[in-house]
Amino acid sequence: MPEFASDRYDRVPEGWFRRCGKSGLKLPAISIGCWHNFGDPGTDAARHANEHSMHENARAMLFAAFDHGITHFDLANNYGPEPGAAEARVGRILHEDFKSHRDELIVSSKAGYLMWPGPYGEWGSRKYLLASLDQSLKRLQLDYVDIFYSHRFDPETPLEETMFALDTAVRSGRALYVGISSYNAEQTRRALDVCTENGFVMPIIHQPSYSMLNRWIEPNLLDVAGEKGVGVIAFCPLSQGLLTNKYLNGIPEDSRAKQPSGFLQESAVTPERVANLNRLNEIAQGRGQSLAQMALAWVLRDPRVTSALIGASRPEQIVENVKAAERIEFANDELIAIDEVLAG
């Protein structure tokens, strides 16, 4: 077993662990997402072509995260590529390296996207969600996950069925808490009302995309979360790497925007966008932060946001991003300046 830093909880900034809505659960201000760089060899940003180097980089990232107070590892059934590969890799690391620290960790997974052929391999039916959870637990080599999410709203399955499946996940001991992801404000309110009306276990957390460049949850979804006492964990707070120093001089060859597939397309990195990123970087420098650190702090400025979920391709990125939580307060003129850039 590796030797983790004995002072890992002393290293974190004040207020690092934030309460998830009205629940008893606290999450670190920065959580680590195990998506793009935890799958099969050669699929990560650094293109680790063999299994050994790929696995060692993944281990090093989770070790660095844990040593710096990140106790939440976030996954989903379809993370890879291939789907399931990230859970299998993280499961191996949990089993081999973190077994004695399981009770210090929050491990989450989700189900909602396509995992196997046929009519029961995606969306939000009870059949799919519980079968997928069982598969995830096998890949993760765990008896339970701490949080299990409905990964996306199913327009055809009754919400009562989806929420009942989440309720069963908790009552059967396969999950401690449940959450929802990418539900809009009205869908979120309806889901929570269904749980209240039927006596189901209540979701304690919502995972939407949220960043300075993607503010769709303002104000309605944030208002519902605040009103109902549900925590928010923001994914893509760095907008697929746009809100880092990577694109300040255009599009580098090793960037996500240069990849043939993915959410960030080369067409999105326009000269105007690059100019605005440089203006945001100037504001960040005035705060004594990198652009990425300011972008994370900006997401965390709202007390309704429990955690910002980052991706990483190497340990050093994680160590730098943790520093964002050292300063999450913004002066009013800084917020006005940021809004002016974003409006432009």
Using CA atoms, how far residue 294 sits from 142, 184, 282, in Å, is 35, 26, 11
Specify burial of residue 324 (Cβ count, 10 A radius: 0-12, 13-18, 19+): buried
Domain count, the chain: 1
Residue 51 domain-assigned (yes or no): yes
- Domain with 180 in it: 25-241+304-327
d(CA 63, CA 20): 24
On whether residue 110 sits in a domain, the answer given is: yes
**Nearest C-alpha neighbor of 213 from the set 157, 262, 148, 272:** 272
Name the DSSP class of 16.
-
Is residue 1, in this structure, part of any structural domain at all? no
Would you say residue 8 lies in a domain? no
In a domain, 290, yes or no: no
Other beta carbons within 10 Å of 340:
11
Helix (H, G, I), strand (E, B) or coil at 211: strand
The CA-based angle 234-239-240, given to 5 degrees, is 110
pLDDT in tens, the chain (344 residues): 789 999 999 999 999 999 999 999 999 999 999 998 999 999 998 899 999 999 999 999 999 999 999 999 999 999 999 999 999 999 999 999 999 999 999 999 999 999 999 999 999 999 999 999 999 999 999 999 999 999 999 999 999 999 999 999 999 999 999 999 999 999 999 999 999 999 999 999 999 999 999 999 999 999 999 999 999 999 999 999 999 998 898 666 555 554 555 566 666 788 899 999 999 999 999 999 999 999 999 999 999 999 999 999 999 999 999 999 999 999 999 999 999 999 98
Classify residue 312 by its DSSP letter. -
Supply the pTM of this predicted model.
0.95
Whether 193 is in a domain gets the answer yes
Selection from 99, 188, 174 nearest residue 135 by Cα: 174
Residue 127 lies in a domain: yes
Residue 227's domain is classified under what CATH number?
A: 3.20.20.100
